[in-house]
Amino acid sequence: MNTRKTLYVKDNDLYIGAFKATELAKKFGTPLYVMDAAYIREVSDAFVAAVNKCGRGAVAFANKAFATVATAKLAAAHGLWFDVVSGGELFMVKRAGADMKKVLFHGNNKTPREIDEALDAGIGFFVIDSLNELELLDKKAGERGVRQDVLVRINPGVSAHTFEAVMTAAPFSKFGFDVHGDAFDVIRDIASRDNLNFRGLHAHIGSQIYEASSYEKAIDITVDLAGRLAEAGIVCDILDMGGGYGIYYTDKDPKFTPSAYAATVENVARRVAEKSAERGLAAPFLIVEPGRSIVGEAGVTLYTVGAIKDFPGVKKYVAVDGGMFDNPRYALYESEYSAVIAGKASEPASEVVTVAGKCCESGDLIGKDMPLQHAETGDILAVFSTGAYNYSMASNYNLNAIPPVVLVDGDRADYIVKAQTYDDLLRNNTVPEWLN
């Protein structure tokens, strides 16, 4: 557990803001996603201050980590831009009142409809990721008489030390143009088009990255490309170095703090400035795109313990009322989490258990071999660091309702996503006339 002012244990109880986790569970029910507004603010401010300290730049929140209107409003109020990857995310940030000029549209296969929607919304930047997109965007911008600002996603070919599915810049990735292959020629082509305004480069090497060296390699390769483009008369005024900053899940991970993130961003900015100077380039406008690091540790999921199955000396299952429908990350990546029994939080973690979900899959686990206080049916289990890629990846598998989300802000707690009802689960079901 990575405690802080708004996540702590007092008298055997876990607290989030001013609330006992058990009180939140009682008031709002379980399973329940709880998000801590104070942490989101604090990390956002740290990122923004670090970028501002270093010169020109912006912090774009990667909505894919956690996309709700309320948290987008919070993020915008703290100066964050937005990275969106679908028409749905674009619709959401519009609803949150975001400044469209501060929106970047990513994605390796933006649909024609999404391109239309983003052009009509007047977003700041498309991050071009394929030749198909290049042609389509050029045509559609031309039809509207618009000269659209674009970045180009490059694949710097850096293998970040992370899980394969969240590694995005290894050779032959589905993302971006190969920096050692077609990237230069594609950018030269874009720079020659009337309807596209080439502004710079984007590289995102993966997620849950701890080593500064991975970022450094990616920066060096990206700035080198900017240098080669400059020699050809093409200016890269913007470098977007993506997100990927690691967070604390278990004691195997470093315990990050907002100031640690600020220091990492300052190092990124320094490296970009130094390498640019070495190539005789002006320091670019720097964008970073954190997702997980802004919302991940802000989130705690609360469950009620149900069935307990003990195979003495072999394995003990503690089953909860959630599972892969609210947190698919174990099933996808065997991701590890830490947890406590919320009302026994000061007691020693005397058992090692497998926390199972309630879905009809043996792989539906929250975690294996998790140290935990002695659990009894009816206890509230709190799983930490679930703010990123849990709600945003949730599903209705087995027709389980996606849990509601409650935002805690000091002594206030309110829904930001309401509970789904059984009717919600069937809302889009229809039965053709000919079946009746």
Ligand X SMILES: Cc1ncc(COP(=O)(O)O)c(C=O)c1O
d(CA 132, CA 421): 41
Give me the least distance between CB of 224 and ligand X, in Å please. 20
Residue 311 has what DSSP assignment?
Answer: E
Q: Is residue 204 within the footprint of ligand X (CB under 6 A)?
A: yes
**Least distance in Å: CB of 290 to ligand X?**
5
Nearer to ligand X, 64 or 329 (CB): 64
**106 binds ligand X, rule: CB under 6 A:** yes
Binding mask 246-265 for ligand X (x = CB under 6 A): --------------------
Q: ∠ CA(214), CA(85), CA(261), 5° rounding?
A: 40
**Using rule CB under 6 A, residue 289 touches ligand X:** yes
CA distance 336 to 151: 35
291 counts as binding ligand X under rule CB under 6 A: yes
Smaller CB separation from ligand X, 30 or 207: 207
> Is residue 39 at the binding interface for ligand X, with CB under 6 A as the rule?
no
Residue with tokens 């994605």: 107
Binding letters toward ligand X, positions 49-88, x by CB under 6 A: -------------x-xx-----------------x-----
127 near 106, Cβ under 8 Å? yes
Indicate the residue type of 210.
Answer: Y
What is the identity of the amino acid at 349?
Answer: A
Entry field: residues in the chain: 436
Stretch that binds ligand X, among 241-249, 274-282, 348-356, 400-408 (CB under 6 A): 241-249
Amino acid at site 168: T
Rounded CA separation 214/205 (Å): 8
Query: Which of the ranges 13-21, 118-126, 285-293, 327-335 carries the binding residues for ligand X, by CB under 6 A?
Result: 285-293
Q: Any idea which residues carry the catalytic annotation?
A: 360
Question: How many residues in the shown chain lie near ligand X by CB under 6 A?
Answer: 18
Among 20, 41, 292, 329, binds ligand X (CB under 6 A): 292
The string of DSSP letters for 170-236 reads STT-SSSEETTTTHHHHHHHHHT-SSEEEEEEE---BSSB--HHHHHHHHHHHHHHHHHHHHTT---
Q: Which residues bind ligand X (CB under 6 A)?
A: 62, 64-65, 83, 106, 168, 204, 207, 242-245, 289-293, 388
